[in-house]
Chains A and B, each alone.
Chain A
């Protein structure tokens, strides 16, 4: 079937870049905007949920369950359903149901919910003793959150951010089905609906490469922010020779 169709309707090879590259740029813009919103909202929200929990800096059972519940709803709806169900809300905010602007709203909601959990989880992995150290050293609550929680969790948060970004690239493809533009839109309209195998193949390759690049970048960022992962350290070599220290433990 598709073989027959493709022979008739295929986009000529030389037209493919003109079709695919603007779409890639659109995807990157869409995911970029979403990720900025996700970080700006998700980091404070994750820190809030973590510190409202029992043992947190501003422990509050009721507030914690409320916020946690809202986040869980955002996390549990499949993206397609979330996107469809908040259409009226999206139109209210952006004045439209299609295009990048319309896709950014559901993507941000899903992304923030996702990232809030990632931040919360990352903060949980920081030894709670550091919070005591910071408080005993005279830190305000905000300073505690910044230095003893977020800063120490940066590698984990970056790792989570990588996963989150990749999920958003995936969501942008789903959003493509409602005409949000981007690579997903091209894949759906040309590759799927018109059975254009070449376009399909090109979009797949582009998506795979983009995801791989994001993963590589993310891994590098995690390594760079984890002191004991920076293997090449010049410091280690400088440390090796004679010590001026009175007692040196093994």
Chain B
């Protein structure tokens, strides 16, 4: 369990001061994967460094398992940091050490004996599925394998919190999927609280239980992933929902967008809606999927408008929030620009 209390970080002094993080409050529970998304320059990496206290917060606290880390001196911090395992972007492996020697680093720093370290390293490499690569150097491993070594190293001292800053950015989709699966498995098996920082919306959909959006050092929106996806008014939800360009609207029809707003949307809602409003419906685009065990999605349809409120109410009865898309407005406006590489 980790929580932030009014965390603020200012770089520089006086007229040159820049507030990079301002008054951040959130907590990540045991067995929760909490994603932070935000564009490049939002302050994500600064946040990561404030959390493991490589950077001292200007004010506010970082609390891990009830202990406030913000007031510790350098030596106490060194010990407290062991409770937070950090996974770095581009793996951060030492080029002259093998996979096993990289995993052994934190144990070495701690002063573990060779024997203890060897045993634990074997266990960790097994855990991330890399036992056969123990004696390989980083340049002999693929990007996904290197990141697994990084994860094994982060786990070496049995932390209760795992902090990942852009851990999957720059990996191919397959490796990303395998890293995401591994993180979920670790969350379940070890009861970790995982803070997953990324600029990639699609990865958030696959990994997160909860999401917060960081912009200009502020958390502008946050919540459980499924609730955000089901909230048609949420900008973050809208940005997270996968979108694609719908088919061309047939002449004489109006275009509507429907968002799955709760868990009770019947699978055959399309025919039910068509019957209720008394008009054939053209299905122009849809994306429906199960996320964290819940069905979420959205659809773009075309139908002959009778009366807007009839459609809205009929959709609402089916658990869908309907909104008519006027012709002037670009169809499915691009999501707020979040997909910028950090």
Complex Cα spacing A133 to B133, Å: 21
Q: Given the interface contacts A147-B94, A227-B96, A247-B144, does A136 sit within 8 Å of B52 by beta carbon?
A: yes
> In the assembly, what is the distance between CA of A216 and CA of B165, in Å?
43
Q: How far is the CA of A236 from the CA of B132 in the complex (A)?
A: 12
- Which residues does chain B contribute within 8 Å of A129, judged by CB atoms? 88, 90, 92
Interface residues in A203-250 by Cβ distance below 8 A to B read 225-228, 233, 235-236, 239, 243-250
In the complex the two chains form, is A138's CB within 8 Å of B109's CB?
A: yes
Q: A136-B52, A244-B132 are in contact. Are A249 and B92 (CB under 8 A)?
A: no
Nearest B-chain residue to A153, judged by Cβ: B96
**Chain A, Cβ-Cβ closest to B92:** A133
Cβ of A152 and Cβ of B140 under 8 Å apart?
no
Q: Is the CB of A137 within 8 A of B94?
A: no
Within the complex, what minimum Cβ distance (angstroms) separates B305 from chain A?
A: 48
**Does A139 interact with chain B (Cβ within 8 Å)?**
yes
What residue in chain A is nearest B153 (Cβ atoms)? A137
Kindly state whether residue A143 has any CB partner on chain B within 8 Å.
yes
**Residue numbers in A under 8 Å from B135 (CB-CB):** 235
- Residue A135 CB within 8 A of the other chain: yes
Interface residue tally on B, bucketed by range: 35 or more
Size bracket, chain A contacts: 20 to 34
Residue of A nearest to B80 (CB): A138
Of A140, A147, A155, A236, the residue contacting B105 (CB under 8 A) is A147
Q: Is A151 an interface residue (CB 8 A)?
A: yes
**Are A249 and B145 touching (Cβ within 8 A)?**
yes
CB distance from A144 to the nearest CB of B (A): 9
B79 proximal to A (CB < 8 A) = yes
Chain B residue at minimum C-beta to C-beta distance from A139: B109
Cα-based distance from A155 to B109 in the complex (angstroms): 23
Q: From the candidates A138, A154, A239, A245, name the one contacting B96 in the complex (CB within 8 A).
A: A154
Residues of chain A contacted by B78 (CB below 8 angstroms):
138-140
Complex Cα distance A220/B52, Å?
41
Determine if B174 and A225 form an interchain contact, defined as CB atoms under 8 angstroms apart: no
Residues A245 and B54 in contact, CB atoms below 8 Å apart: no
**Once the chains are docked, how many angstroms separate the CA of A180 from the CA of B174?**
67
Chain B residue nearest in CB terms to A144:
B109
Q: Does A249 lie within 8 Å of B94, measured CB to CB?
A: no
Asked if B129 lies at the interface with its beta carbon under 8 angstroms from chain A, I say yes
- Could you list 30 A-B pairs, sorted by A, with CB under 8 Å? A129-B88, A129-B92, A130-B94, A132-B54, A133-B86, A136-B54, A136-B86, A137-B105, A137-B106, A137-B157, A138-B79, A138-B106, A138-B109, A138-B157, A139-B109, A140-B109, A151-B94, A151-B96, A225-B96, A228-B139, A236-B140, A239-B133, A239-B140, A246-B129, A246-B178, A247-B175, A247-B177, A247-B178, A248-B144, A249-B172
Known: A143-B109, A246-B129. 12 other contacts (CB 8 A): A129-B90, A136-B52, A136-B84, A137-B81, A137-B153, A143-B108, A226-B96, A227-B96, A243-B132, A247-B178, A249-B142, A249-B171
